[in-house]
Amino acid sequence: MEAKVDRPGAFQLGGVNLVSYASFDGDGTPKRLDIRNLIVEFNIYEDLNSPFLSGDMTLIDGTNAIQELPITGFERLEFFFRSPMTEKGFDFSIKSGHPMFVYALENRQSGNPRSQAYTLKFISLEAIRDNQDRISQAFTGSTDQMILDICYNYLKTKKDVLVEETKGVYKIVMPRVRPSNAIKMIRKNSRALHYENSGFLFYENANGFQFKSYEGLFCKKDGSPRPIKAFYSPKVKNIGEDDIYDLQSVEDYKILTQFNTLLNTNNGVYSSRLLTHDLFSKKFNTFDFDYNIEYPKQNHLEMDAEGGKIDNNGILPFFNYDRGNTFGSKNEGSLYLQSTTTKIHNDYEQPEVELILQKRISQHLAVNALVIEITVPGSTEINIGDIVHFSMPKYASPTDTDIQDKDIYLTGRYLISAARHQVSIVSKKHTMVLELVKDSFNKAYPEEITDLFTNNEDDTGSAYSATELDEFLL
């Protein structure tokens, strides 16, 4: 199907086939059914926190395909989907060798006496292999090479795998775990070679599998910012017929989370204390984490006008709130206990928990402290892991000095953490629902050295006997 190229949300869809595990009368040829004309809509889901692509497809079936194929949950789903005049797309065709795997049929119901509706759920073939296998093996080397080993030898992927270089040479033993859980263990013990952080992600998008750090997504290894893939702004009515503008127009948006101080305090975003016990040397050590100290050492989404680091634009403003203390200086809000041992694997060191754990937890939660969901015209050029610019309205009357009328804090660079590609065959439209996150603001919050809160809280309450209080109330 050739779609129009001159309207937002246009798409191309081809070769939609269900391929059965069964053959035609034992001739060695798998049954193949073209379901293109049965599709009402389909969705493809990408998520930085999920290792595999997934999706669902709603069909109105008047051909009794469920019985004739039959559909049993062991089918391949082959199709090709992309935006017009683009080179990138989702290629699940047999030609690419990367078809999806149907694993569930849901919401089956009658449409009319001669048709029925149902939803097919599908996922990457590697996810099926992940559920069938366990790893009982010791991996030796850099953690990026361990990821490649698992992808090719256990997930048996034929897709591209892009890995970021990591520090250190370790020996990590996998105690009979799924490949995806082994990858999770490895990424939690990884340190970036070119950056200060340790927050690694493993995910799949249209380009294949990715093993990258947050800083590796934010900037290049020389510290320069990664380019912005799209500029999005809320749609303004009666703006004209500019298709380029429409492609970048936000149809709807929601601020899902802007801050949660209590949650961030409990989970160690602002501060934490790590207690380690070395089983070999019998030594205890204490390591304190302070967000305000660690923040300037890392690269972040927001950059200055020259593309350099900005030291004070994080989610936590610097201020004294409790008799000279800051949120970063109260370390026991989150307490971690970790046993370690030197030379447990002869000459191989363990991953340095004191250099990884607290930074990783704080960074991951800080990145997800601000979450915005936007609905925009679809484009297969946009994927999770890309950086976009979003102009957040200010919701106030514009002034002569503020022509743009934008939120000075929330407007800026965002990382796409999740994407839903929603394609309606009926309306012939591709829409994306993007989840955007950021770990820094376009403009820094004001700093305050004076403890303004304590000065107003010098008076203390009084203690009362419960018996006296009862008599007083009676």
Span 133-223 CATH architecture: 3-Layer(bab) Sandwich (3.55)
Cα distance between residue 422 and residue 426, in whole Å: 12
> How large is the average pLDDT for residues 103-122?
91
> How large is the average pLDDT for residues 289-306?
86
pLDDT at 5 over 70: no
C-alpha distances out from residue 248 to 9, 242, 252, Å: 11, 10, 12
Q: Which residues face 209 on adjacent strands?
A: 161, 204
Predicted pLDDT of residue 328: 66
Predicted pLDDT of residue 30: 87
pLDDT at 303 over 90: no
Continuous segment of H or E residues that includes residue 127: helix 125-132
Predicted pLDDT of residue 245: 52
Q: Quick check: 270 and 363 in contact, CB under 8 A? A: no
pLDDT at 242 over 60: no
Average pLDDT for the chain: 86
Query: Domain-by-domain residue ranges, the chain?
Result: 12-128, 133-223, 261-361+449-454
**pLDDT band of 28, cuts 50, 70, 90:** confident
C-alpha distances out from residue 63 to 42, 66, 332, Å: 19, 8, 64
Write out the CATH class of domain 12-128: mainly beta
> How large is the average pLDDT for residues 369-382?
94
Cα distance between residue 226 and residue 230, in whole Å: 12
pLDDT at 440 over 60: yes
Predicted pLDDT of residue 107: 94
> How large is the average pLDDT for residues 67-94?
90
By percentage, how much of the chain surpasses pLDDT 90? 52
Model pTM score:
0.89
> How large is the average pLDDT for residues 197-214?
93
Residue 411 neighbours by CB under 8 Å, 6+ apart: 390, 391, 392, 442
Three-class secondary structure of residue 289 per DSSP: strand
Pick from 167, 174, 163, 223: nearest CA to 198: 167
The pairing of beta strand 249-250 with beta strand 230-234: parallel
Q: How far is CA 290 from the centre of its chain?
A: 25
**pLDDT band of 27, cuts 50, 70, 90:** confident
Predicted pLDDT of residue 314: 85
Is residue 70 reached through a cis peptide bond, with omega within 30 degrees of 0 on the bond before it?
A: yes
The single-letter code of the amino acid at 285 is N
Cα distance between residue 205 and residue 9, in whole Å: 20
> How large is the average pLDDT for residues 228-250?
72
| 307 vs 73, more confident | 73
| 292 vs 350, more confident | 292
Cα distance between residue 31 and residue 23, in whole Å: 5
Predicted pLDDT of residue 400: 53
pLDDT at 58 over 90: yes
**pLDDT band of 4, cuts 50, 70, 90:** very low
